[in-house]
Structures are given as structure tokens and as C-alpha cells.
Amino acid sequence: MRILVTGGAGFIGSEFVRSVLSADAKSGITVLDKITYSGVEENLAPVARHPGYTFVRGDICDTDTVDAVMPGHDAVVHFAAESHVDRSIDGAAPFAETNMVGTQVLLDAARRHGVGRFVHVSTDEVYGSISRGSWTEESPLAPNSPYSASKAGSDLLALACHRTHGQDVVVTRCSNNYGCHQFPEKVIPLFTTRLIEGKKVPLYGDGGNVRDWLHVSDHCRAIELVLRGGRAGEVYHIGGGREITNKELTGMLLEAAGHGWEMVQQVPDRRGHDRRYSLDITKIQRELGYRPRISFAEGLAATVAWYRDNRAWWEPLKARAALS
Ligand code: NAD
């Protein structure tokens, strides 16, 4: 199978590309990535010599580029997105453009060129916030941030292509990911790198917001299951790592770094901050046999160690993005 992977130089996309290519000498992947502030082509260095690997720098919103790249692929796995909620609060335009227009350009081109399966990678944030219980794939969408609204819009565009054109589209919605190569603006690498630098970490509000954390490799394995066995026109939840509050997470990161609570600075809450996310993952377990493999304690320890050992990866990124 030859797969077009959009956003393959980012955190999750690069894990997907590395894992598919390193498992199979015969598979082929073309990465289409604009290399925005969060894209890092060196994330793909371990597979750069794989005979089936091709890298194209380009924008998913540009129809000519997408039309040139699309032919010859059997499937699209679509990761490319503007992905950081705080940035979407500062300015929503790139989120509407990349997440919605870019998705529409890709869907149309895939149809035009007769590409089969289209896996649209999305997020639990499209459902908004839930105080008790868990969302099923039938729960209504109620996004609260410009990021999640733009992802919800792209999910609906993808599903509409199945209903209107019979296109072979599948949507995945995953909980919060963590692991190595995550851009250091997201909470786990942000807190970890700040503690390594001896700086305080900014905790939003009362720290009571609950997130389900899933290791990026469990997410990518689930995407492969959906790519090969998911039913067209369906949504699949991916999650089941561990639900914890941001305060509990902060405590674990402080302990890993050998620091106490004096390193925490409470900051005003994020505008529109969702209180809790929770996904019911029964469907993917029952239909595709998915189970997360990496415990949060084990995965978090490995992630913190990776950031400790790879300052040369994140220091230039922080400088480039003017992150303190
Ligand atoms: P990321 O920001 O690390 O990577 C995004 C990648 O997309 C980058 O390589 C960037 O250069 C590329 N990109 C951005 N705009 C582009 C454009 N116009 N054209 C081509 N490439 C472009 O993001 P991530 O955390 O790896 O997230 C990947 C996908 O997974 C996103 O769709 C996101 O919504 C979804 N997701 C993320 C999480 C999470 O916890 N990180 C959870 C669930 C779903």
C-alpha cells in the first residue's frame, strides 16, 4: 500500500511514518508537509533512506500542489493541522484555513484521482466538555475553542463526502497524546523542558481540568487498524490511556524532575477552557481489537527522559517559536 501522509513531519504524523516504514521494507509513504513552526523534517531522519519514502514540502490548501502529489496513492492519512488551542484563541484564521479548507482540498483531490481510503485524524475536543460519563461516537458535537470548532468542521466535511459521494472516508477522534517529538508548547513537553531549564511552570486556573492521556504510539497503532479495517463513513474513538487532572499531571512531572510545588505558578484560566474530556472506546475495541499498550507511568517516564536527553532537538524549536 502506498500512503499519502499529510503533516508527517509533526508530532503524531512522524511517529506514524516511522512506525509504518520501520515495520515493513515494502510499504511506501509520501509525506506532504508545509513545515510550519511545528513541523520538523528531522523527525523523519530514521526512515529517510527507506526505499519507499518520499518527502514533499507543500501546503494542503494549495490545490495545484495536492493535485500533483495525490496520484499513485492507495490511501490518505490526514494529520496536517494547526493544532494548538492557545494559538487558536490568539488568532483563528490559520485554523479555519488549514483545518477546514485544507481538508476539503485533500478530500476533493482524493476523489478526483480515485484514491480509496481517506483517514481523517481528529480529536475528542470536538465534543466540548463532559462532567460525567463518556462520549460515544454518536454524541453531538459542541466545540468550544476555535481549534476544536475547525476540527469539528473538518470532520463534518469528511463525513459529508462519504454520504454525498460514497467516498471511502473514516474519521478517528483521539484523546490527548504525549510522547517524544511533541512540540514544546504543549503541556507535557512545556512543563518538562521548563523544569529542565530550572524555570517555574504555569498551571491554568485551579488545575482541575481532566484529560485522558494516550501514548502517541498507541494512537498510531489504532490509526493503522482503522486504515486497514475501519468501516467507511464511520467515526472511531481512540483513547483509554489514563484520565487525570492537570494538577495530578503537574505533580507527576515535578516528581520526575525532582522539584516541589514551589516551581508552580498559578496563572489565570484559559478562555473557554473545557473542564473534562472522556471517550467511550468500546467500538474500536469490539470491531478492531484495539487496546492501549503503554501505561501512563511507563510512557511518561520515557518521555521525560527523552526530553532530558534531547535538548538539541527542543532548544532550537523553543528559540524559533520565541517560547520561554
Ligand atoms: P503538530 O502541530 O505537531 O503537527 C502538525 C503538522 O502539520 C506539522 O508538521 C505542520 O508542519 C503540518 N502542517 C500544518 N499546516 C499545514 C499545511 N497547511 N499544509 C501541510 N502541512 C501542514 O500536530 P500533532 O499534535 O501531531 O497533531 C496531528 C493531528 O492529530 C492534528 O490533526 C490534530 O488535530 C490531531 N490530534 C492531535 C492530538 C494531540 O494530542 N496532539 C490529539 C488528537 C488529535
**If you search the block for the grid coordinates 514551589, which residue do you land on?**
262
* Distance between CA atoms of residues 217 and 50, nearest Å: 20
CB 188 within 8 A of CB 303: yes
CA-based end-to-end distance of the chain: 42
**If you search the block for the grid coordinates 458535537, which residue do you land on?**
141
In 6-102, alpha helices (H)? 11-23, 63-69, 85-90, 93-95
Query: H or E element: which one contains 23?
Result: helix 11-23
Contacts of 132 (CB under 8 A, 6+ apart): none
Q: Ligand 1 site: residues with CB under 6 angstroms?
A: 6-7, 9-13, 33-36, 38-39, 59-61, 79-83, 98, 102, 121, 123, 151, 174, 176-177, 183
pTM: 0.98
Which residue in 145, 153, 144, 146 sits closest to 171, CA to CA?
153
User: 323 is written with which cell numbers?
Assistant: 517560547
CB 111 within 8 A of CB 154: no
Return per-residue pLDDT of the chain as tens, 324 residues.
999 999 999 999 999 999 999 998 899 999 999 999 999 999 999 999 999 999 999 999 999 999 999 999 999 999 999 999 999 999 999 999 999 999 999 999 999 999 999 999 999 999 999 999 999 999 999 999 999 999 999 999 999 999 999 999 999 999 999 999 999 999 999 999 999 999 999 999 999 999 999 999 999 999 999 999 999 999 999 998 789 999 999 999 999 999 999 999 999 999 999 999 999 999 999 999 999 999 999 999 999 999 999 999 999 999 988 887
Residue extents of the structural domains in the chain = 2-180+213-241+279-288, 187-208+243-274+296-320
* Distance between CA atoms of residues 235 and 138, nearest Å: 9
Q: What's the CATH fold of domain 187-208+243-274+296-320? A: UDP-galactose 4-epimerase; domain 1 (3.90.25)
CB 112 within 8 A of CB 259: no
Mutation pick for ligand 1 pocket among 83, 103, 118 (CB with most ligand atoms within 8 Å): 83
Catalytic residue numbers read 124-125, 147
* Distance between CA atoms of residues 97 and 127, nearest Å: 21
User: 118 is written with which cell numbers?
Assistant: 481517506
In this structure, which residue's CA is closest to atom 28 in ligand 1?
A: 79
**If you search the block for the grid coordinates 470536538, which residue do you land on?**
126
Superfamily of domain 2-180+213-241+279-288: NAD(P)-binding Rossmann-like Domain (3.40.50.720)
